[in-house]
Chain A
């Protein structure tokens, strides 16, 4: 307060200039010049691309506008004119626009549209995979662990230990080397878990970087979560697929056709036995004695079966309408399948039924331990009346080789004569030298057999090995379109995630909602500003104008702080700025009222201002601290857009104090000391 007037004026001017410099890119980015807008409109007219799409895409590196125009159905003259415009817009203008964009206040996902995902790394699966000697007790412990993890965010390893202690066993029963202490196993598991999360983070970053979104962010969130932001993502479904998949590539041998047939027949018999049992039970429903006897024999087989008895035999009859009931009764399982020589084909409508049977507890128990059922990745139309068919494969559980030995993967359009490759999108893989040697050995030893290419437990193809394959090259087929092939190549290059991830939170904001929010935010800002300004001038006259000036400065400095520190502005953040407009005049009101009171007591203008200020400042600080407490708590505990609100509110309060205590005081000092005002309009 004792500093001279010129010094304070200088300080404020410097701050304003600094703020203006930092805010310039934001304003410039917000409003294109007339010439640029003109060009954009012309380009839009020529190319038929909507103006707002153009406006959003003109600055994006990953959008090939020229390519789009080349591929479009315009005539050559129009193409040339359009390309000239694109070149202008992507020339010096583009560079300055990019610069402005980089230095403008960042817009949150809720303002620019985009996708926010929270993924959780499945540590339970990791722990499960690391274990050996898995028995029923182990499965029980794991099931409980999974249940607990599902409902709350707990430490997986600690809970696992707690469960083991409760069961009275040590970690070494299932984990670690023989003779390893629990302490050391715990350490290893924790390290494996940390490593899994860090690797997942790295792999996801690789995938997202290659996906082609401008400025994605990926960050660790807590102990085992990863948050991903994809601004302006165009195809959320594709992004979700690319990020969420494990991308575990395996090569597995199919079981011999003879053995497959044997196993299928065995399953058929199991199901038939079970159905017979159920029918008998239904028929003798009122004969209590019989049921009791049957139920006794039944207990071992049924116990905790996932498949309920009635589901097993009511639905096939209902779903498989065209099959005569005799066949269904004779072969309840086999009648759901088609073909059989080379592939087991399953019509789309039977798929869930078949799935339920092969995953039922009885079938799983009777299945040899070294084999498993896997589905094809997508149904196919075999020109067979249009009904899409799935292929069910029986493969050896243990993979011959995994994607860990992959060196590179590229998507391309297949050539040659192979019907499932020629002219279709494929992914070509090449292996590392060691991987190539393993592949040569595996293929050499299994000539004539079929080798399935399995990706995330779905079989893309299962070609017959015609001879030893040297050089370590393989091809994945069965993609719907080029995008899928491209995404697959990306995930294969980036590598498989060490453990599956689950999406536990997703928020996607469409571009139009983002634009609407910005427009509504601007309108609200303007209206709030007008309402407060007019009210203050009406009520306090000249001093009201002064409070308005302080408020404008307030909002200006608040925005400048956002720009200087590259903070992100969200819709609740805009609400925070608008609220600041309402709160900003408060400090000045307190000062006016005090000065008014002092004047009423008969003091001179000079004395009234001095005492009025001194008293008001105490109150202003006391009053603002409480709002700041609320703001800071929100800043610490809030998530996502709420943080944006807390930020503008807190910064707003700080700037507010500055504007009232320093700037308003300065204006009064100038009025009294330099202009010798004798009467105050308060």
Chain B
């Protein structure tokens, strides 16, 4: 029986400043990339028209662009989308102010005429009016805020407020790092990705709560130990569970990322990064933040007295 995680005694609390520095560096790097490149919104938030075509024989972007120049499309972008294990697709992206119903049939006619003997199939059409894009963005932000507030309330109710602070710190840590990865690898932020962010928030806090639970229990049981010692003990005691759960979730998310196709790839990518940072933040960020918070408020309290 593999028992590599049976009884560990690693001093995580002592390593907290190294961990916080490392995280801060990654977050800053991610945010800088995000600011320089700007957020890469998907059509859900940006509005416009995306048409995915799959041709029977390979075509170049240039051919499609040339064919489409007959139509007055305004700002149009044509690019080839490669996905693992699938034939290439051509993505035609038009920035339009309203959802023009006859644009897609007109595109089809022109392409059939200009690129003969190469039938294509319209795989996916998405047209989102600018108003809808705006609304979806507001809705996404609103739902994220509501979820975070509810989680904060729940932790404050079940634990002490200082634990909620640790949990929220871990949430922001994970979301910011994942956002940075999105900016770095130029993944689009879509509705699905927002859903993935909410899920990884839930997952990351789930891990954290298991540790907090143990800290709470040990605080009652081992009254002579310092908070730092209890935290270290609790993290070590739950380490095996933390790692196993993360591994199983990581496995399924990896499968999703590789095999489930382009529809959920953005989602899977967010979860992939989120599971790793979530586990890391559970061990290295959440409890140390609670510890720092507790120590500082304790010092302040003493000063006041």
Contacts and interface: CB of A to CB of B under 8 A. Distances in A.
Interface of A: 110, 118, 150-153, 236-237, 240-241, 244, 502-510, 512-513, 516-517, 520-521, 523-524, 527-528, 531-532, 535-536, 538-539, 541, 571-572, 574-575, 578-579, 581-583, 585-586, 589-590, 593, 597, 615, 618-619, 622-631, 633-634, 636-642, 645-646, 649, 681
A507 B248 contact: no
A597 B237 contact: yes
B61 to A, nearest CB: 20
B131 A504 contact: yes
B294 to A, nearest CB: 20
A153 B131 CA distance: 7
Given A633-B146, A638-B195, A509 B251 contact: no
Contact of A630 (B136, B201, B217, B240): B201
Contacts of B209: 619, 622-623, 626
B255 A593 contact: no
Given A572-B264, A618-B213, A627-B203, A642 B195 contact: yes
Interface residues of B, number: 78
A590 B251 contact: no
Interface stretch (B13-21, B27-35, B116-124, B178-186): B116-124
B172 to A, nearest CB: 15
B260 A524 contact: yes
B196 to A, nearest CB: 9
Nearest to A637: B143
Contacts of A639: 136, 139, 191
Interface of B: 1-2, 52, 54, 86, 98-99, 101-102, 104-105, 108, 121-132, 134-136, 139-140, 142-143, 146-147, 150-151, 154-155, 158, 191-192, 194-195, 198-199, 201-203, 205-207, 209-210, 213-214, 217, 237-238, 240-241, 244-245, 247-253, 255-256, 259-261, 263-264, 267-268, 271
A575 B264 contact: yes
Given A504-B99, A579-B249, A582-B248, 10 more contacts: A110-B263, A502-B129, A508-B122, A572-B195, A578-B260, A585-B248, A623-B207, A626-B209, A630-B151, A630-B201
Contacts of B99: 502-506
B215 to A, nearest CB: 12
Among A636, A642, A646, max chain B CB count under 10 A is at A642
Contacts of A151: 130-131, 134
B255 A572 contact: no
Contacts of A575: 256, 260, 264, 267-268
Contacts of A507: 125-127
A640 B192 CA distance: 10
Contact of A637 (B146, B202, B213, B261): B146
B202 A531 contact: no
A389 to B, nearest CB: 20
B147 A633 contact: yes
B199 to A, nearest CB: 6
A504 B132 contact: yes
A642 B42 CA distance: 15
Contact of A619 (B147, B195, B213): B213
B128 A579 contact: no
B283 to A, nearest CB: 15
Given A510-B121, A629-B151, A503 B132 contact: no
Contacts of B155: 626
Contact of B101 (A241, A590, A618, A619): A241
A572 B192 contact: yes
A309 to B, nearest CB: 22
Contact of A517 (B108, B121, B256, B261): B261
Contacts of A538: 2
22 contacts: A153-B131, A504-B131, A507-B127, A512-B54, A512-B123, A513-B124, A524-B256, A531-B251, A538-B2, A572-B263, A582-B248, A582-B251, A583-B249, A589-B241, A593-B240, A623-B209, A626-B155, A626-B209, A628-B202, A629-B147, A634-B198, A634-B199
